[in-house]
Amino acid sequence: MILVFGRSGQVARELARLAPQAHYMTRDQADLSDPETCAVAIRSYAPRAVINAAAYTIVDRAEEEEALATRINGTAPAAMAEACAALGVPLVQISTDYVFDGRGNAPFLPEHSTAPLGAYGRSKLKGEEGVRAAGGCHAILRTSWVFSAHGKNFVKTMLQLGAERDTLHVVADQIGGPTPARAIAEACLSIALQLQDDPAKTGTYHFSGTPATSWARFAHTIMFKAGLRCQIREISSKEYPAPAPRPLNSRLDCTSLNVFGLTQPDWQTELDNTILELKGMS
């Protein structure tokens, strides 16, 4: 049995579709703000593998709630990793491009030095460090710009605003890879199963959609595919200030995924599927 932390988030919901036989821990069952409950759950269920699909993801609010974000994104994964290491079972931990400072134009390799710009990135980096320090079998999977038909994400926001407004101003100088939550879920399951057979694959990996694009170009594509007439006006990050700084370069080098036989998903194809799903839900 695979134990999954999270039930309502984007990746967790896709995991539930793909692997309904797994056991999903809700916040009532294991609150990540109380990390010991996570360790207790792992020891109680003694699963074959653990996937942590739960996190504090409100990037701007994390600037005010860094202690809470760090407990959820940092201390809780460390507690999970220690429990997994004691049982000898693999842990798949989802991380983020926000652990990097976004400098330059080249895609970041997994081994590139980290330098998060804000509280959210620092909290996720703390989780990475805790997972590694536990010494057990694990995969840290950094991803970016997650979207699906569920939860809060850029695609849903653009579709809602695009139906209400004639023009939207969207940042054009932040570049990254939109990543479908379903593809992340598939990757997590594949990695968890492979780690059981080959713990030597332990390490840090990158997984993001291709091709790289800007938020503005992503928005253009969303409007076009959805048949919306809303115009996208490109602006700079300086023209759209936010409490938490965002990395300008969120490109991730994903070539190391070859170890697991995985390739980058085409976000444009999955965007079509997401829009169709949302239309079916309306």
The question of whether 120 is a catalytic residue gets the answer yes
Residues 6+ apart with CB under 8 A from 22: 1, 2, 3, 4, 15, 16, 51
Looking at 24, 98, 120, 205, which residue is catalytic? 120
How far apart CA 28 and CA 4 sit, in angstroms, is: 14
- Enzyme catalytic residues: 120
